[in-house]
Amino acid sequence: MVKSVPPKKKQRKPSESSEARKDRTAGILQLLKREFPRPKTALLYENPFQLLIATILSAQCTDERVNMVTKDLFKKYRAPADFARANVAVLEQEIRSTGFFRMKTKNIMACSQALVNNHGGKVPESIEELVLLPGVGRKTANVVLGQGFGITSGVVVDTHVHRLSQRLGFSTADDPEKVEQDLMELFPRRHWIDIGTVLILHGRTTCGARSPKCPDCIIADLCPSAGLFPGGSK
């Protein structure tokens, strides 16, 4: 009679000490900044207002598509007042290819009107004022402040940053604002603008949602998720 052999218990990975996590995090940032030495948004803009509009358009849309649309859009609409008095039906068609064009048109026009009425047509330079504008949440506000003004207000958390934060062990949260808080606690303030940007760039080029390129990843040796996906290996 052959005795059945009980399955081996999976070995639990030792928990990471705060010091080890700090060193690993610093190493990841260093490597990503080596990969992207001058990190910046892929959105094309000439001033903070254009960046604000482009970021609103980028929701559920690629930056490449947004750049194609804004190339002509910003020639026609040069200031908040221009968008505020735009023809709704015309603007909807002009931004249609970015998706969710009706809601985006509504937000862009309302945001522009608020800038005219409450801020003299200027984009405010505080996150508290920015998030009060229609269609502007913390992600958009952080993009505008960080990339448009060079103001460190927080960390941009989009789908790429959210995904990589979980894979890299930076956060276990599902809520983007909680992920942002975790990143702000983990990284020194001087790195808040860059960490969001390099994670976005790395997410687009290497650490994709479905097929991360673990063998080609510059931070694979520091990533607790490396090799856990089809085709990936440490």
Is a pLDDT exceeding 90 seen at residue 12? no
Distance of CA 89 to the CA centre of its chain: 30
Residue with tokens 């969001």: 196
pLDDT at residue 231, as a whole number: 54
Higher-pLDDT residue of 16, 134: 134
Whole-angstrom Cα Rg for the chain:
21
Q: At what angle do helices 48-57 and 101-119 cross, to 10 degrees?
A: 150
Is a pLDDT exceeding 70 seen at residue 6? no
Coil vs helix vs strand at 72: helix
Q: Which of 106, 158, 182, 221 is catalytic?
A: 158
The DSSP line for 117-138 is: HHHTT---SSHHHHTTSTT--H
pLDDT tens digit string along 115-142? 999 999 999 999 999 999 999 999 999 9
Rounded CA gap, 57 and 10, in Å? 47
Q: Which of 76, 139, 175, 216 is catalytic?
A: 139
Indicate the residue type of 144.
Answer: V
Is there a catalytic annotation at residue 139? yes
Question: Per-residue confidence at 10, pLDDT binned at 50, 70, 90?
Answer: very low
Arithmetic mean of pLDDT over the chain: 92
Comparing CA positions, the residue from 230, 192, 228, 194 lying closest to residue 211 is 230
Residue with tokens 């860059």: 194
Rounded CA gap, 171 and 163, in Å? 10
pLDDT at residue 19, as a whole number: 87
What is the token pair recorded at 16? 């990471």
Query: What is the mean pLDDT of the segment spanning 154-176?
Result: 96
Query: What is the mean pLDDT of the segment spanning 153-169?
Result: 96
pLDDT at residue 2, as a whole number: 44
Is there a catalytic annotation at residue 13? no
pLDDT at residue 16, as a whole number: 83
Phi/psi region, residue 27 (left: phi>0; alpha: psi -120 to 50; beta: rest), is alpha
Rounded CA gap, 195 and 189, in Å? 10
Query: What is the mean pLDDT of the segment spanning 148-165?
Result: 97
Question: Per-residue confidence at 234, pLDDT binned at 50, 70, 90?
Answer: very low
